[in-house]
């Protein structure tokens, strides 16, 4: 996933047909909210009730909004989050954190998040790659924290 210091995954510029070519047909597709379509996948060794990947498109323009990778066994993702490029965020705030994540801003207005992992060596079961412009819709608390910095 990291090659020569760059993340090799999705760019979020992929079309639906390009995602389908790369991941195949989804196990489940569902519309949600006013303008979103979710494709969910069971790729690899995954519990039959869980999904390994979730891809979200905006219905109105077909743009890829985010891709989430769920891991059956939590893993160390430190290589994806260099100290100089990583910030830690807490919900609802730093004073009473109920949930924490590491965030790395990437080129092209994207963010990579390690959910539930607030420090080096802390494992995560979920990575999310998302357009930063969509954070107010999906993670409004995080968008507010980023805007305040």
User: In this structure, is residue 1 part of a structural domain?
Assistant: no
User: In this structure, is residue 110 part of a structural domain?
Assistant: yes
Q: What is the pLDDT of residue 49?
A: 75
The answer for residues whose C-beta is within 8 angstroms of residue 149's C-beta and 6 or more apart is 87
Q: How many CB atoms lie within 10 A of CB 87?
A: 14
Over residues 94-106, the pLDDT tens digits come to 899 999 999 999 9
Q: pTM for the complete prediction?
A: 0.92
Average pLDDT, the chain: 91
Over residues 86-95, the pLDDT tens digits come to 999 999 988 9
Question: Is residue 69's pLDDT more than 70?
Answer: yes
User: In this structure, is residue 4 part of a structural domain?
Assistant: no
User: In this structure, is residue 2 part of a structural domain?
Assistant: no
> What is the tally of structural domains in the chain?
1
Name the burial class of residue 66, with classes exposed (0-12), middle (13-18) and buried (19+) by CB atoms within 10 angstroms of its CB: buried
User: In this structure, is residue 140 part of a structural domain?
Assistant: yes
User: In this structure, is residue 126 part of a structural domain?
Assistant: yes
* Residue 60, both tokens: 């109105």
Range of the domain at 106: 9-148
Q: What is the pLDDT of residue 45?
A: 73
User: In this structure, is residue 143 part of a structural domain?
Assistant: yes
Question: Is residue 1's pLDDT more than 60?
Answer: no
Task: Give yes or no for a contact between 80 and 136, defined as CB atoms under 8 angstroms apart.
Answer: no
pLDDT > 70: percent of the chain = 93
Question: Is residue 8's pLDDT more than 90?
Answer: no
């Amino acid at each position: 996933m990291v090659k020569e210091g760059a993340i090799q995954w999705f760019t979020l510029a992929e079309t639906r047909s390009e995602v389908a070519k790369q991941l195949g047909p989804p196990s489940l597709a569902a519309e949600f909210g006013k303008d979103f379509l979710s494709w969910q996948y069971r790729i690899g060794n995954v519990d039959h009730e869980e999904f390994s990947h979730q891809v979200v498109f905006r219905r109105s323009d077909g743009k890829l909004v985010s891709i989430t990778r769920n891991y059956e066994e939590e893993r160390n993702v430190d290589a994806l989050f260099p100290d100089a490029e990583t910030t830690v965020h807490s919900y609802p705030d730093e004073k009473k954190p109920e949930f924490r994540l590491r965030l790395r801003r990437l080129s092209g207005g994207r963010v990579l998040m390690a959910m539930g992992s607030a420090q080096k060596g802390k494992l995560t079961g979920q990575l999310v790659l998302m357009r930063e412009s969509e954070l107010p819709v999906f993670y409004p608390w995080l968008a507010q924290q980023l805007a305040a910095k």
